[in-house]
Structure 1
Amino acid sequence: MARKEVLLIYDQECPACHAYCQVVNIRKSLGELTIVDARQPSKVMEEITAQGLDIDQGMVLKLGDQLYYGADAIHALALIGSRSGFLNRINYWVFSSKQRSAVLYPILRSLRNVLLKLLRKRKINNLGAAGNDRF
Structure 2
Amino acid sequence: MSAVNDSRQYEPSSRRLRLVYDGECPMCRRYVRWQRIRTDVGELELIDARQESEARRELTAMGIDLDQGFALQIGKRWYHGSEALHRLSLLGTRSGVFNRLMYRLFASPGRTARLYPLLKRCRSGLLKVLGKSPIDNLDRK
TM-score, normalised to structure 1, is 0.93
Sequence identity (%)? 45
> Structure 2: where are the runs of 5+ without partners?
1-9
Q: Distance in 2 between matches of 1:105 and 1:21?
A: 16
| 1:85 correspondence with 2:90 | no
Q: What is the number of equivalent residue pairs in this alignment? A: 130
Structure 1 residue matching 2:40: 3-state secondary structure: helix
Cα deviation digits, residues 20-51 of structure 1 (max 9, x gap)? 11111111111101110001111111111011
Match for 2:136 among 119, 125, 128? 125
TM-score, normalised to structure 2, is 0.90
Deviation at 1:58, TM superposition (A): 0.4
**CA RMSD for the aligned pairs?**
0.8
Structure 2 residue matching 1:8: 3-state secondary structure: strand
Q: Distance in 2 between matches of 1:33 and 1:84?
A: 17
Structure 1 residue matching 2:45: 3-state secondary structure: strand
| 1:97 correspondence with 2:108 | yes
Q: Which consecutive segments of 4 or more residues in structure 1 shift more than 6 A? A: none
2:124 alignment counterpart? 113
Q: Distance in 1 between matches of 2:129 and 2:117?
A: 18
